Amino acid sequence: MLGVVCGIGGALALDSGSAGLDRTSQDPLALGRTMVNQPCDDRFVIAIGKGDGGAALGSGLAANPAARYLDTQQSCETAWTQHDERTPRWVAYLGPYGSGQAACTARMTPTLKGSTVSRLVHGWADTVHCLCYLDYKTAPTLQVGMSHDIADVMWTYALQNLLVDMGRIPQESANGAYGPATAAQVRRIQRTHALPVTGVVDPDTWHAVQDGCRIYDEPSTNTSP
């Protein structure tokens, strides 16, 4: 009975996020990984788990042997969540990476579906829009009625998140499915850039979408005019 009580007590201490932690430990949540807090040095990290206790980080750490975690209260005061969600206490992450292109290339793989990229700059307002850092020529073609594999869903969701922040679609429309509402906004972008108005996201349309990156002061890695 004593062992059960102690076990439950330990789990509650981990999930509290702060109570009873050894601040000097390199693994204060006892997750078997090193806590490495990150300064504001303009590098990038891929957040693969977030929460106020160790349980929220477990699956991300288990699936990524190279991952570590940080305390957001002791790390760069940057955007750790999308669209004004509450900042979590702890973040499991991969990196840091020296460029947005490197971080986003790693992030846009099926094994990291659901992750986000944060830029380690003080006061950065939102998580990184990876579309702004990737070569448009590598992006898949998207169209209404297509069958979606995991990679297509990730690219569609990235497109929709950019459209949300551009004020073109509501947040609830960012669902990873390339449907009529998203296609309608793509057609508007195509008209603005004098492209064929098809609603199909082809390389030229991806290139046009990246024009919206300028309002976030995020570079595109386009190498072609």
Decide which of 128, 151, 177 is a domain's last residue. 128
Do the beta carbons of residue 84 and residue 121 sit within 8 Å? no
Range of the domain at 65: 21-128
Q: In whole angstroms, what is the distance from residue 175 CA to residue 225 CA?
A: 31
| Chain-centroid distance, C-alpha 180 | 25
Q: For residues 77 and 145, state if they share a domain.
A: no
Report d(CA 68, CA 57) in Å as an integer. Answer: 10
Residue 166 has pLDDT above 80, yes or no: yes
In a domain, residue 41? The reply is: yes
Mean pLDDT (whole number) for 145-150:
82
What residue ranges in the chain does DSSP mark as E strands?
44-51, 68-71, 90-97, 116-119
Asked if the structure places residue 179 within a domain, the reply is yes
What is the domain count for the chain? 2
**Residue labelled with tokens 């002791």:** 74
**Domain final residue, candidates 91, 111, 128:** 128
Backbone angles phi, psi at 214, to 5 degrees: -65, -25
111 with 174, same domain: the answer is: no
With a pLDDT cut of 70, the percent of the chain lying above it is 83
How sure is the predictor about 225, in pLDDT bands with cuts at 50, 70 and 90? very low
| Domain termination site, one of 110, 128, 146 | 128
146 & 195 share domain: yes
Same structural domain for residues 156 and 208?
yes
